[in-house]
Structure 1
Amino acid sequence: MMVKPLLGIHHVSALTANAKENFHFYTKILGLRLVKKTVNQDDTSVYHLFYADERGNPGTDLTFFEIPHAGKTYPGTNSITATSLRVRDNKALQYWKNRFNQFHVDHDEISLESGRSTLSFRDAEGQRLILVSDEGNEGVSGGKPWDRSPVSPENGVIGLGPVHLTVSRPERTIKVLTDVMGFREKTGYTKEKDNKLVRVFETGEGGTGAEVHVIEEDKVGRERPGRGSVHHVAFRVEDEEELTKWVELLNTKHLPNSGFVERYYFKSLYFREPNGILFELATDGPGFEGDEDFEHLGEKLALPPYFEQQRQEIEARLIPLNTKE
């Protein structure tokens, strides 16, 4: 089965225990736009919040499922251990360091990793995030920050950068990345903080928006996820026709998978790589403007048509969340 190369990272989905505080941090401090306030389609009793660039272009979405009673995360292996967010240049990182100091955001110092300037930080729940400079970057283009963001456009986040996978048996993950998903290996690097070797893989046009960084860790147990952990990473597929080919390919490779899944804002396919990390393949469209116009994205609870008849019941189970502020 011939498939086209994956186009890059589509979105990353993580867990929060508090949608209100989560909304405040990612919109008021990080300056992302909430482009969709909806529900987890597998459990409609909880919110699913999508933060992104001005209109939720593919490759810019950082999403959160709200699990109100989620326990703390116990970091470990066989998990997604960092999500990167792209900024335009090195100068922007100094702006962010100052901003994090102003808002008392836990952060490290600016450092050089894989030839790029980076700034690691954590939200209040311990979500592990990295700002990465796109200065000199070639590859998948970034998005466009929302012009009504509290962060100036020249410093705003323009999309998702490399996703870090920490695994106990890297050869198993790498085999799926390269032999099944078509990633190619680039030059790796050594992390400044703990001296660990990182192997870098890219797809499509490459660059910061199309990389997976694989780190070996066999001295700690499997991560116990909770608030502040990542649920899955999704990779970009051009359209529904191409996604159908990926379903056939995974079946041919005998990789257990969800088959085609309708998510309304995009179409999806889910599977776990051999170390247990959940991967999703998602189409670039149709996008977030099918049920809300551009000017009012994220202001009301949006439900796909197949849940609309349950709106009253769904809204009754959710804690009200004002996203018009």
Structure 2
Amino acid sequence: MIEHTLLGMNHVTAMASDPQAIFDFMSKTLGLHLIKKTVNQDALDTYHFYFTDDQGTAGTDMTFFTFPNQPKGKKGTNMISRASFRVPSDAALDYWLKRFAEKGVANEGISNQFGTKIINFHDQDDQQYQLVSDENDHGVAGGTPWKHNDVPEEFAITGLGPVTVTIFNLGHMQYVLTEIMGYKQIAEDGNWSLYEVGEGGHGAQVILEHREDLPIAEEGFGNIHHAAFSTENRETLGTWIDRIKQYRLPQSGYVDRFYFKSEYFRAAPQILFELATTGPGFLQDETYDEAGIHLELPPFLESKREEIEKQLIPVKTDWRGR
């Protein structure tokens, strides 16, 4: 029996080739708020950008590592293959088609998946994304759009939608989702299957794509590094750490990221999942007005600031200058 049900998505972390380009795409094209400009705590020469809703609400975070000199990733099976973003309505998708045309964003037009209208699109690194309409969605609430973006509020992104995992061994991944993580399968369409947890809805869903005909994916920029799922606090995280240990999946144990607490575990070959708390949040060490403009470091890295800054390429993230 699961003592504390997972709440849904927390964040998705991908890898980008160029920190300036990914800031411009996420902030200026998609209208997301760079709530935190910091570094990968395990690779201090690497930026870690957190793009969120207005206030940095858990479940709205699309984050990026920019590892220096990393090769381009290769698509295939055994990868977290697509992140998605929620928009309020079907009409919002019409707006985004026009915006993508104006900004030169490659996309596949409006289509339908599991009864929901979507737009599949990708960025300059061939990172795969999806816009998903919340027109008929029920369940986990979205966030609040960034108030300084130039997308009309009625069309703006409100948070993360389902994450897609492309997998070779479908049975194993189904077992991890349903028996270990508490997800339930709610739909199936060919080699696609849809799962949700807790209150359900787009903010608490995972899509599995079963593919044995593809080569094994290779990590690199343009691919997703890991997907994180929310638990309420350190206490509930502790129960999840104990649960993962019981199933003997490779795992990190407790990790303090300052902005949240977490654990990482290998859900399947090359599939890295994280369980992360919803707080304490991103505005504990800087004000809302300054968020994302300057390099912020957690207290345990502040003594290394000079060394860290020398290794990083300067990036212009002051949205006020547009």
Query: What TM-score do you get using the length of structure 1 for normalisation?
Result: 0.96
| SS at 2:15 equivalent | strand
| SS at 2:76 equivalent | coil
| SS at 1:150 equivalent | coil
2:208 aligned to which of 195, 205, 214? 214
Deviation at 1:2, TM superposition (A): 4.5
Match of 2:56 in 1: 56
1:279 aligned to which of 273, 276, 283? 273
Match of 1:104 in 2: 104
| Gap runs ≥5 in structure 2 | none
2:245 aligned to which of 251, 257, 266? 251
Match of 1:289 in 2: 283
| SS at 2:221 equivalent | coil
Match of 1:299 in 2: 293
Output the CA distance in 2 between the equivalents of 1:64 and 1:274: 22
Match of 2:169 in 1: 169
Larger displacement relative to structure 2 (146-155 or 53-62): 146-155
Work out whether residues 10 and 228 of structure 2, in 8 Å CA contact, stay in contact via their aligned partners in 1.
yes
Work out whether residues 16 and 70 of structure 1, in 8 Å CA contact, stay in contact via their aligned partners in 2.
no
Match of 1:235 in 2: 229
Deviation at 1:206, TM superposition (A): 0.4
| SS at 2:154 equivalent | coil
How does 1:307-322 map onto structure 2 within 5 Å?
307-322=301-316
| SS at 2:240 equivalent | helix
Output the CA distance in 1 between the equivalents of 2:82 and 2:51: 17
How large is the Cα RMSD of the aligned pairs?
1.0
Q: How many corresponding residue pairs?
A: 319
Output the CA distance in 1 between the equivalents of 2:183 and 2:220: 29
Runs of at least 4 residues off by over 4 Å: none
Work out whether residues 172 and 275 of structure 1, in 8 Å CA contact, stay in contact via their aligned partners in 2.
no
Output the CA distance in 2 between the equivalents of 1:117 and 1:310: 47
Output the CA distance in 2 between the equivalents of 1:90 and 1:188: 22
Q: Counterpart of 2:183 in structure 1: which amino acid? A: F
Work out whether residues 16 and 68 of structure 1, in 8 Å CA contact, stay in contact via their aligned partners in 2.
no
| SS at 1:312 equivalent | helix
Post-superposition CA distance 1:8-48 (Å, at most 9, x none)? 00000000110001101110011101000000000011100
| SS at 1:131 equivalent | strand
Work out whether residues 80 and 232 of structure 1, in 8 Å CA contact, stay in contact via their aligned partners in 2.
yes
Match of 1:194 in 2: none
Post-superposition CA distance 1:239-275 (Å, at most 9, x none)? 0000011111111222221000000000010001133
| SS at 2:108 equivalent | coil
Match of 1:34 in 2: 34
Output the CA distance in 2 between the equivalents of 1:238 and 1:284: 6
Match of 1:72 in 2: 72
| SS at 1:273 equivalent | strand
Output the CA distance in 2 between the equivalents of 1:280 and 1:53: 20
CA 276–225 in structure 1, closer or farther in 2 if over 3 Å, else same: closer
| SS at 2:63 equivalent | strand
2:87 is the counterpart of 1:87: yes
Work out whether residues 31 and 149 of structure 2, in 8 Å CA contact, stay in contact via their aligned partners in 1.
yes
Q: Counterpart of 1:308 in structure 2: which amino acid? A: E
1:261 aligned to which of 255, 271, 290? 255
| Gap runs ≥5 in structure 1 | 191-196
Output the CA distance in 2 between the equivalents of 1:178 and 1:2: 11
Work out whether residues 140 and 200 of structure 2, in 8 Å CA contact, stay in contact via their aligned partners in 1.
yes
Output the CA distance in 2 between the equivalents of 1:216 and 1:32: 31
Output the CA distance in 1 between the equivalents of 2:93 and 2:296: 34
Output the CA distance in 2 between the equivalents of 1:112 and 1:29: 23
| SS at 2:35 equivalent | strand
Work out whether residues 45 and 68 of structure 2, in 8 Å CA contact, stay in contact via their aligned partners in 1.
no
Post-superposition CA distance 1:135-159 (Å, at most 9, x none)? 0100000000011102111111100
Output the CA distance in 1 between the equivalents of 2:217 and 2:249: 23
Output the CA distance in 1 between the equivalents of 2:167 and 2:110: 25
Q: Counterpart of 1:83 in structure 2: which amino acid? A: A
Output the CA distance in 1 between the equivalents of 2:19 and 2:248: 38
Output the CA distance in 2 between the equivalents of 1:146 and 1:30: 10
Output the CA distance in 1 between the equivalents of 2:110 and 2:40: 35
1:199 aligned to which of 193, 196, 200? 193
Identity %: 42
